[in-house]
Every structure is written in structure tokens, then in C-alpha cells.
Chains A and B, each alone.
Chain A
Amino acid sequence: MLDHILSILIFFPALAGVMGFMIDKGSIRAYGVAVAFVEFALSLWLWFAFDSNVSGMQFMENIALIPSFGINYILGVDGISLFIIILAAFFTMIGIASLTETKNEKNMIITLLFLEMTMIGVFSALDAIVFYVFWELSLVPMLYIIGAWGGPMRIYASVKFFLYTFAGSLVMLVGMLFMAYFFYQATGTWSFAILDWYRLILPESFQLWLFAAFFVGFAIKVPMFPFHTWLPYAHGQAPTIGSVILAAILLKMGTYAFIRFSLPLFPDASVFFMYPIAVIAIIMIIYTAMVAYAQKDVKQVVAYSSVSHMGVIILGTFALNVEGITGSVFLMIAHGVVSGALFLLVGVIYDRRHTKLMSEFGGLAHVMPRYATIFGIMLMASVGMPLTINFVGEFLSLLGFYEQSHILTLLAGIAIVVGAIYMLTAYKKMFFGEVTKDENRNLPDVNKRELIALIPLAIITIWLGVYPKPVLEPINNSVEAVVQLMHNKSTTEEAKSRIPNVSGVVISKTSTREAH
């Protein structure tokens, strides 16, 4: 069974989703929770069976689809994708478990199960075409979730989300086709397998163009400034569950793809574009943080804060060293947990008051102390308090980029200041002061169903902040392999010097460890 665990992980929720049509409306929630729980257990089993000392791909599967064009169904996980897969399974599970009363509950749960298939598919695909298929398929359930269960502007928001990201992906697809063609020219055989592509060394001029093509697709997905404007609409209109999955998992596709495709395929181009991208990342960090501060709607604060944090992830990725990339992968997990939790928390108050305007709240800490406490923990995680999950990622990302540029890191570090400003202000507006609105006087505190989702997230937030090693170590090993590959493949002098040679470093690491 372990040989095909990835296929099972991908298709089990989809099959269960199809079966779900036959389930009675009354028991669909229990069914959904059961399916998602089994899926999550399977993903934990994957982690258990995963050998964290191996840096390469594990649990690989390979089935020929269109051999003449080198399109194969290839799957595999390494330390970089493993935890995002687990996170996807986890969020689907708690998302379904904590789902509030929705109309057409059955459709929602089936949609979520399909969404789970596409998410896990994206993070385990090792063939560009398979990757692309899942990447695009993931738009459909989300389009449906926003369009069917969203707010008043749901059609505009969902169409914008779909068309914007779809347009970007098409450019990426062109890039993939060119890449395969270059591979064909170089070797005489067609292949869309990413691992095959890793072996291909392209001249820098080719790399620049291909990097740009992939960049468009990824940057819109992340979303990077100035392609981020679909996100506030999508979050603003999406139901809570949609926002949670979108922020926690779907955004990570873009940053993950940078590490899976852009860096190892185009190391010289990555170095070439490092500074421009870092500048974009810094704009994302500061600009969107300021926009977040200006928001009146608490969900928009969290939405813009997502963009700001994604900026740190991008910066860590383009540090191009082990510390930075490991940090950015870790921050993807961290941001998934924390922003997912924050969106759930916003959903809690929205269910009670049917408004997200902060001016409608105030003094909630008197009425809902438990809610205020959990929100407080997530707030502190979001601003990067040490011993919470976010800090590890943020610290490592910034630390990594510091090697590349001091002044840009200083600017990016403003993240910790502006992040505190919008988050604390929002918290103050919502929770502190006297209760001014009569509607808020008798709000019930968080109930059991909400705690099912929030407590595990709070535990993970602290646990991985205090003891990140179980996650950090596998990520580190795989990232070392990526960095080494980049170093070996790079052709320009600058790239060779910017991207460290890990194998030389490993020895000194053991010696430092022995020194302790």
C-alpha cells in the first residue's frame, strides 16, 4: 500500500466525494469528517514512513500516460512538499469538522473533498503536465465555493479569481512547453518529468525567458505585488471555509512552485532576478501591511496581512541559501496554520454578528474571553513572536537573505514593525475598551465545534514554535539538495558565488555540532 500511498492520498477524497452524492443529507457531515479523517491519518502515515535522512524524492510512482511526448503520471514527495500535503489534509479535516450551518451542506463537503484531491495532486506531482492539470483543476472547486456560498459580490470575486489566475497559468503552460522542447532538442527525447528537467543546463538567455514565463503564473498565484488585487476580493466574498483553504494551502502553490521549478531549473536566472524580486517582496511586505492597517473590515486585515507574509516567504526563497529556503518552506507551513486560524476566528465572530467591520465590535474581551485568548495567541504568532511557529520561518527567511543583501533585509525587517502595527490596532479595536454596542453584550463564547478547529491549531502554533525540529529537519535535508543542485548547475560566475556549495558546508556543520 505504501508504494501507492500518494495516489491513494490524491484519489481517495475524490472517489469518496463521488460516493458522497449517494449519502443522505443528514449524515453527510459525519461522512465528510470520516473521509477527511482517514485522509489525514494516511498523510500522517506518509510522514511516519517518510525517511527524513533522504533528501531526494520518496514514494515515487511512475505510470506512462503519453509516452511519445514524455508525459507520465509521476508522483513523489520530499521534505519540501511533505508538510504542505499534511497541512492540506489537516485543514480539509478541521474545515469540514468545524463547518458552520451552510445551505447545501452536501455540495460544500463534496466540493471540499475534490479540492483536497487537487491540492494534494499539485504538491505531489513530478510531471509538469500532471502538475499543470492539478494546478488548474484546483481553481474549479474554489470558484464554486466563492461563487455559490460567497457574499454579495461573489460572482465578480470568483470570476476575477478564476480568470486572473488562469491567465497567468497559461503563460506558465507556454513556458512548460518550451522547456520540454528544449529538453527534446538537447536530448532527442521528449520529457515533462521535472526530475529530468533538473539535469538540463540551459544557457542563461534561455533561462531568463523561461523564468519570466513561469514567474507570471506563480506570481499571480502567490499573489505578488502588483498582481495581488484578486485576493482581497476573493477573501472578502468567500465563506470562512473558502478563505481558510485559500490562505492556508492554495496560496502556497505559488511559493512552492518557485522552489520546485524556478530555482532548480533556472539557477542563473534566479540569481539574475534576485534583486528585482526582493524589491517586489519588500514592497509586498511594507505596502500591503500599510494597506492592511487602513482596513475597516477585519477579514480584509487578515487578507492583506497574508500578502505581506507571503512577501517574507518570497524573500526567503530568493535568499538562495539553505537557511533562507528552509525558512521560507517552514514559513509556508506556519503561515498556513496561522492565517487559516485567523480566518476561522474571523468566521467565529461573523457567524455571531454577521458583520466583519471592526467598528461594530469593541470590548469583546469582556464578553468572549476564550475567543480573545485564542485570537491573542494567533495574533502574537502572526506578528512573529518567538516560540510561535511564525517566528522560526520569519527569522530564518530574513537571516538567509541577510547574506545576499544587508540593506534589503533591513527594509524587509520592517515587516516585524508594520505587522505589529496593523495586528495590534485591529486587536485593540475589536477586543479592548468598553462594550459599546448592545448587540455585543450577550455574545456566546466559542463553542465546541469551533474549538475542534481552533485548539489543534493553537497547539501546533506553540509546539512547532518551541520544537520545530521534526519539521525543520526533513525540510532542511531536501533544501540542501536543491541548493546543491543549483550550485552545480549554475553557469555564471555570479550565480556560483551567490549560491553556496552545500557539500563543502556539511562537514563544517558536523564539526560545529560536535563542538557543543
Chain B
Amino acid sequence: MEKYLYIALFAPLVSSMFSALFTNTPKKQFVGIIASLLIFSAFVSSSILLTHILDGGDIVHVEMMTWMATGNLYIPFGFVVDQISVTMMMVVTLVSTIVHIYSIGYMDHDKGFNRFFAWLSAFVFSMMILVMSDNFAGLFIGWEGVGLCSWGLIGFWFHKEVATWAANEAFIMNRIADLGMLIGIFLVYWNTGSLQYDIAFPAMAHLDSATLTWMGIFLFIGAMGKSAQFPLHTWLADAMEGPTPVSALIHAATMVTAGVYLVIRSNELYDLIPHVGLFIASLGAFVALFAASMALVNRDMKRIIAYSTLSQLGYMFAAAGLGAYWVALFHLMAHAFFKALLFLGAGNVMHAMHDELDPFKMGGLKKVMKGTWIMMTIASLALAGIFPFAGFFSKDTILEAAFAEHHMVIYGVLLFTAGLTAFYSFRLVALIFHGEERYKIFGIHPHEAYKFMLIAMSPLLFLAMIAGIFQTPFFEMVEEILGATEYHIHSHATLLIMLVGTQMFVGLAILYAYKKYASWSSVPDGSSVIENSFIYKLLYNQYYIPYGYEEYIVKPYNELSAALWEVDKKVVDASVDGIASIFYSAGENTRDMQSGNLSTMLKWMVVGTVVLLSLAVVFGLAARYSGEIMSILSGLGV
């Protein structure tokens, strides 16, 4: 089994390095094909490992070599394939295989075709390290690695100012969170003596609650950055400047779920500190609602899906925070399928519309893009949680978990957000695919994507439809390691009412969205009443948070930096030069003494003699009257 572990881990690295060889050469089709094949081989290996684990096989644990060893610290490159990591590996390799194949078509006309595959495969490698490592330091390697690849891919079109700006924003904001993560790692090391999961977690049971709380908080700060939780969320929407396959893979299916993975992986820690867990759940519920509200009014197709991702991440954290780790992991998996599908569909639309992102300028595209229309509709149904699609099984279980744990506020918020999710998803679908063909005003001639791109997407379509049937086998697989409880609401009637009620609520939201937007005919120009209402503006400007960051953090930082530079030149350095010039001017001013002029010399000789004589007199007198001087001084209290 170790062989498969290594293939799964290193095939993406090989793919990345192979593609990197061609970065400076013009587009070569075979680079994309070979990269896709290598990623596919990683997928196959992961599948073999999955069947091995499903068959009740042993956890595969290898230690490749030492990375750092000093003092008491010992960090190997160790990898583990257990129930959690194999789930993540399946998600990562499956979605990335599809995205790789899809990209061959999507990046078809791009100058940086080969470079794109180098970065994309490097990302997959980092993500595999992240999920497969058996220690926190290895996790951190992957953690930073995906950040790096995200930087390279958001800023892939580096001639665009917005893209590179967004890339830097994402990197720096993640770095802030990484500091929290790093401190969390230090805490783990100094309190448990190891960074290995299998040593550190058992040792945590003996620590006092305050230390564990700090540990939990700092690790979660790291998770907040990667998973773009409030208040570190602004980078995710801006990250949509990257190519759409990147958004599908990194900013929907895999990297942003790394934070959730961290919390799930640290379940033994968070079980010990339920109050931190409750905070995580509350923040998750808040972000779910908060992000969904921004998606309601946005006019950028990709940003709407990004906010939806953010909102779904909130759901996952809500579940993980409440201790329903397996539910969170299951939703992570299901979400990866339908969200990647949604993004890839959006990529097709973007191509068709010549990179136009405003859904109000589209409309009626279902005639020309039937395949994409069906896929995006089903993905949206899955996202909305309609029976029998994937989201129904994963999202409803989160609601049930919140209900069963008697956190009614969280339950209420999540339920309400489910309605919003349905609304904004179908607002998007209705605006893009239904109604009048508004794109004609702009003289665009849309066309469906290449057939092989649609075929590449079809496994995701399939999974978005049927992933629900995996719920029971999945539960059985992870229950051993996640100590899972099945969230069954005791009364059968309550459960039924809840399910039907939720479905009806969500269904009504979808109908409302269709009714409102399916026959939309004009492109809003900012003059309507609703567009001028306070709420709309607030939501459209993302609660003015990016503006606030720009105004109250970025600008002051710029100004403070400039001011400090002035300080450096005019205070620190000037005082050094000042001291030097004291010596210099002392010499400069006294050099007249040495002019060689006899009368001047004699004058100074007299001055010197007088000074010396007076000193002699003063000391002589002082010595003579020392007793008196002492008594006077002591009388003065010296």
C-alpha cells in the first residue's frame, strides 16, 4: 500500500516539474495531457487506498526521512492515510483530475498554457502534503505551499493589475492567519513535546484547560485564514481574478476547505474544549449568513459563487464546532463536487460571453449552452439542498446536528441561510440561462464549450446527483476515528416535519428567484429604487469591509512606513552623524590653536598655565579643608 501512497503524493510533483520544464516555450498540448494523466494516476492510487481502508485495512503510515531534528524537536516527513486523509485525498485528486482535463480546453488559447499546468499540479502536490502529513509541521508545509500556489494562480495573468493585487492580498492575509497557526504549533510542541499527531493528541488529554483553549484558538486562527472566515474573508472574493479552473479547484473544492480539515483533524483537541467549539460553530453560522447576504445582490457571477463557497464553509465550521466532525467532512466532500461543477460551468459561460461576468448582461443562454445549463442547474439544486441531490444529505444533516445539539439560534440561522442560498443560486441560474437574450445588446455570440470539457465535468455532475448514497458507508468508515455520533432526532414526526419544512422553504425560495429573474429583460444601470436603498448598497459594497481595510489598515500602514523611513533617516541616522560631527567640529574649531603662529601659541600657553594653576589651588584647598567640606555636605544631606 505504501507504493500507492507515494504515487498519490508524488505524481502531482512529477507533473508539476515536467510542466515547469516547458514554461518558457510556446503552448504544447501534450503538457496538459501528461499532467492530467499523472494527476489521474494519483486519483487511481487514492482510490486503491480508499478501498483498502474501506475493507478495514490498516492505516497506512510511512516515515520517509527526517526533516528537522534538533534539541528535543524531531520532525520527519511522515505521511498517513487514515479515514480522514483518504477522504480528502479522494476529493483533491478527483476534482483536480477533472480540473486538469477541463483546463486543457479552458486555457487553450492562453500563452501561459504550460506554466498554468506547472502551478496547478504544484498546488495538487501541496494539497496532498497538507492532507497526508502525520504531523503539524508537515501540515504547515502544505499549508504554505497551497498559499504559494494560490498566489501564483490568482496572479496567473500577471499583466493585470487587479489580479496581482488580489494575489498579494490573498497571500498576505493568509500570512496573518498563518502566524496564529505557527503559534498554535509552538504551543503544541512546548506542551506535548511533539508535533506528531499520534503523540501530541493523546498527550493533550493531560493538559490544563487554559493551555488547550489557547491551542485551539491559535490553530483556529490559522484555519480562519485559509478558509476565509470573517474577518479574514475579503481575499476570497478578490481571488476570483484568477482563471476559473483555479477558482473551481482551489477556491471552492480544496484549499479553502483546509481550515475545516484542520479542525476535523484536531477533533481530539476540540473535543476537550467545547467552548471554543461553540465559538467556531457560532462564527461559522454567522459567516454562512453574512456571506449569503452579500451573494444576494452581487453582479459578478464568480463572486456570487465565491460568497456561496464562503457561506458553505460557514456551514462546515458550524458542524465541526458542534462536534459533528463527520458531518462537516461529508459536507466538505459533497460541496467540493457540486461547487467545482458550478464553477466550471461558470467558466463555460465566461468563455461563451468573452469574459463577461455580469449575469444581467447574459440571459437566455440555455438555448446555446444546453449542457452547461443542465449542469449548473443541477449543481445549484445540489447546493440548495433539494432532495435527492448531494447537498440534501450533507446540509440537512448539519441542520439536524444543530437541532439535536439544542443550538436553536445556530439552527435558525443556518435554516434561514439555506433559503438565501437557494434564492441567490437560482437568481444566478435564472439570469444567465433564462429570460431575454440581453447579451445581444453587447454584440456577443456565445457558443458552447468543447465537448470534452463537458465530458470532463460529467463525473462531478454524477456525484452532485448521487453523492447522498455514500452517507451511510462514509459514516461507517469514519466513525471509528471521529468518534461519530449519528444525529437522529428522536421523534420521527419532528424529523419529518423538519425535512419537509426545509424542503418547502428552500423550494419556495427557488420559485421566488425564478419568478423574479427568469423573465428579466433589462440591464440595471443603478437608477432603480432598490439599487439606491441602504441595504442594497451595504450588501453590494460587502458591508464596506474592503473599503474599511483599505482606509484604516492599508493606508495607515503605508503612511506609517513612510514616516518610519523618515525617522530612520532624520532621527536615528542623524544622531549618529550628529555625534560624528561633534568630534569633527571640535577638531575644526580648535585647529586654530595649532596654527604655528608664535603669539597665538603663547596666548594658549598662558591660558593653559592659568587653568592648571587654578586647578592645583582648588585641589589643594579642597584637600586642606576636606573635613569641613564633608561636614557641610553631610549637613546638606548629601
Contacts and interface: CB of A to CB of B under 8 A. Distances in A.
A39 interface: no
B521 interface: no
Given A229-B572, A229-B573, A516 B76 contact: yes
Interface stretch (A15-23, A48-56, A128-136, A322-330): A322-330
Interface string B318-339: 0000000000000000000000
B558 to A, nearest CB: 8
A515 B199 contact: yes
A266 to B, nearest CB: 22
A385 B148 CA distance: 8
Contacts of A413: 179, 182-183
Given A327-B70, A468-B68, A512 B175 contact: no
A164 B579 CA distance: 11
B281 to A, nearest CB: 26
Nearest to B195: A399
A467 interface: yes
A471 B179 CA distance: 26
B623 interface: no
Given A293-B561, A432-B155, A513-B74, A370 B69 contact: no
A42 B403 CA distance: 72
Interface stretch (A2-10, A80-88, A271-279, A419-427): A419-427
A307 to B, nearest CB: 10
B72 A509 contact: yes
A221 B572 CA distance: 16
B141 interface: yes
A424 B72 contact: no
B159 A433 contact: yes
Given A385-B144, A386-B145, A417-B176, A398 B182 contact: yes
A496 interface: no
B587 interface: no
Contacts of A398: 182, 186
A392 B68 contact: yes
Contacts of B74: 509, 512-513, 516
Interface in A447-504: 466-469, 472-473, 475-476, 479-480, 502
B67 to A, nearest CB: 7
Contacts of B558: 293-294
Given A287-B564, A472-B70, A516-B74, A416 B145 contact: no
Given A386-B144, A399-B189, A417 B175 contact: yes
Interface size class of A (residues with CB under 8 A): 35 or more
A424 B63 contact: no
Given A399-B186, A428-B168, A516 B175 contact: no
A476 B71 contact: yes
B439 interface: no
A386 B141 contact: yes
Most chain B CB within 10 A, of A291, A403, A473, is at: A291
Most chain B CB within 10 A, of A291, A386, A396, A472, is at: A386
B108 interface: no
Interface size class of B (residues with CB under 8 A): 35 or more
B562 interface: yes
A396 B564 contact: no
A410 B182 CA distance: 9
Contacts of A432: 155, 158-159, 161, 164
A470 to B, nearest CB: 11
Interface in A237-256: none
A396 B73 contact: yes
A399 B161 CA distance: 37
A279 to B, nearest CB: 16
A410 B183 contact: yes
B436 to A, nearest CB: 37
B contacts with A: majority SS: helix
Most chain B CB within 10 A, of A226, A424, A479, is at: A424
Contacts of B66: 469
Contact of B148 (A225, A380, A473): A380
A121 B65 CA distance: 36
Most chain B CB within 10 A, of A391, A420, A502, is at: A420
A417 B71 CA distance: 27
B182 A323 contact: no
A469 B76 CA distance: 11
Contacts of A431: 158
Contacts of B63: 516
A141 B71 CA distance: 39
B549 interface: no
Interface string B409-425: 00000000000000000
Nearest to A469: B66
Interface string B372-403: 00000000000000000000000000000000
Nearest to B65: A467
Interface stretch (A101-109, A350-358, A361-369): A361-369
Contacts of B58: none
Contact of A290 (B72, B151, B172, B560): B560
B62 to A, nearest CB: 11
Nearest to A414: B179
A505 B179 contact: no
Contacts of B69: 469, 472-473, 476
A323 B159 contact: no
B270 interface: no
Given A323-B73, A433-B161, A473-B69, A387 B141 contact: yes
Contacts of B23: 369, 373
Interface string A388-421: 0001100110111011001001100110110011
B446 interface: no
Given A402-B186, A403-B190, A505-B72, A387 B145 contact: yes
Given A399-B189, A428-B164, A432-B158, A416 B561 contact: no
Contacts of A479: 70
A295 B561 CA distance: 9
B619 interface: no
Interface string B541-576: 000000000000000011011101100100011001
Interface in B313-361: none
Interface in B167-199: 168, 171-172, 175-176, 178-179, 182-183, 185-187, 189-190, 193-194, 196, 199
Contacts of A326: 70-71
Given A164-B576, A290-B564, A363-B159, A396 B175 contact: no
Nearest to A369: B24
Contacts of B568: 229, 291
B514 interface: no
A425 B179 contact: no
B140 interface: yes
Contact of B194 (A321, A323, A512): A512
A416 B72 contact: no
Interface in B42-67: 63, 65-67
Given A164-B576, A399-B186, A420-B175, A321 B71 contact: yes
Contacts of A403: 190
B392 to A, nearest CB: 39
A434 interface: yes
12 contacts: A290-B557, A293-B558, A365-B158, A386-B140, A386-B144, A409-B183, A417-B179, A424-B168, A469-B68, A512-B193, A516-B74, A516-B76
In the complex, the 8 A-B pairs of residues with the closest C-beta atoms, listed nearest first: A322-B71, A229-B573, A294-B561, A402-B186, A294-B565, A432-B164, A386-B141, A326-B70
Given A363-B159, A398-B182, 9 more contacts: A294-B558, A326-B71, A383-B175, A399-B189, A409-B183, A421-B172, A433-B164, A505-B72, A516-B76
Interface of A: 163-164, 225-230, 287, 290-291, 293-295, 321-323, 326-327, 363, 365-366, 369-370, 373, 380, 383, 385-387, 391-392, 395-396, 398-400, 402-403, 406, 409-410, 413-414, 416-417, 420-421, 424-425, 428, 431-434, 466-469, 472-473, 475-476, 479-480, 502, 505, 508-509, 512-513, 515-516
